[in-house]
Amino acid sequence: MQVTPLTGRLGAEVFDVDLSKPLDVVTLRNIEMAFADHSVLCFRDQSLDVDQFEAFALQFGTFGDTPFITPIDGHPNVLRLLRRADEQGPLFGSGWHSDWSFQASPPSATLLYGVDIPASGGDTAFISQELAYEALSAPMQQLLGGLQGVHSARRSYGPKGTFGQANPQRSMEIIGDESALRTTCHPLIRTHPITGRKSLFVNEVYTIGIEGMHDAEAKALLDFLFNHSRRIDFSCRVRWQQGSLTMWDNRCVQHYAIDDYFGHRREMLRITLAGEPPV
């Protein structure tokens, strides 16, 4: 197995490993260590069916809960992220975010597999929130360490959200409802349960406030953190190829799906793995 960093601090490509078969103990351990080091791993040149994709994911944890989106028939933990060549409207996954941060226990990791990939376009960008935390001043780190962010799915899946209304023109069946209005609080700074590293834990899609603060106060601080968290020097970018599988650590990474492939069909499979309450 060959691991090649994508940047100096975030992300790596992985070659010469076959994910269609169960991993031996040494290979699994090497992947786990690479994942801890790089937070984003892109495995190239894979050929997986849905069962093999699930089997690979389960070597790293259990399936997470996936609300609002209808999964693949017979595979309740796998989503088909499909966009037709002529499809318009909001792109699923656009906007900087960490997956399902509105849940009490957000996913530990997300896995995305490329089934039908445009010749160009549709990259996924990633931002390290560990680097974002490290770049904050000591007084700001101390301030944030005592605060809780308020997270909600309302902007995306609430009745007035981006995907809150049924749309027969949309390839994916996304069904928003009143449950998206619920809120959950998480620390603005969380500690990784495996590496012990600290990271910023806010995102512009799901973080809607700060517990105990007036809206104007929270907005000023969150706007600063949103801008700070996506600095280019914290980032890497995965260019998709047919048969690429990318997994990222949702506890310390934000991501953004780039919408620049109109006129080309794109199909991906997605799995999230169960996480733990952020602390």
pLDDT tens readout for residues 94-113: 899 999 999 999 999 999 99
- Of the ranges 49-58, 83-92, 199-208, which one carries the lowest mean pLDDT score? 83-92
Active site residue 151: no
* Half-sphere CA count of 164, side-chain side, radius 13 A: 15
Give, as one character, the DSSP assignment of residue 192.
-
Are residues 47 and 243 in contact, defined by beta-carbon separation less than 8 angstroms? Answer: yes
Active site residue 97: yes
Tokens linked to 119: 């010749």
pLDDT tens readout for residues 230-266: 999 999 999 999 999 999 999 999 999 999 999 999 9
Segments of the chain assigned E as strands: 2-5, 12-15, 40-43, 79-83, 109-116, 124-128, 148-152, 183-187, 189-191, 198-200, 207-210, 235-238, 245-249, 253-257, 266-273
pLDDT tens readout for residues 109-143: 999 999 999 999 999 999 999 999 999 999 999 99
The residue from 83, 97, 151, 170 that is catalytic is 97
Question: Which SS3 state, helix, strand or coil, does residue 115 take?
Answer: strand
Active site residue 255: yes
User: Amino acid identity, residue 134?
Assistant: E
Q: For the CA atoms of the chain, what is the radius of gyration?
A: 18
Domains of the chain: 2-273 (3.60.130.10)
The residue from 80, 186, 266, 270 that is catalytic is 270
Active site residue 37: no
User: What's the rounded mean pLDDT across residues 218-225?
Assistant: 98
The residue from 99, 151, 155, 170 that is catalytic is 99
pLDDT for the residue numbered 273: 98
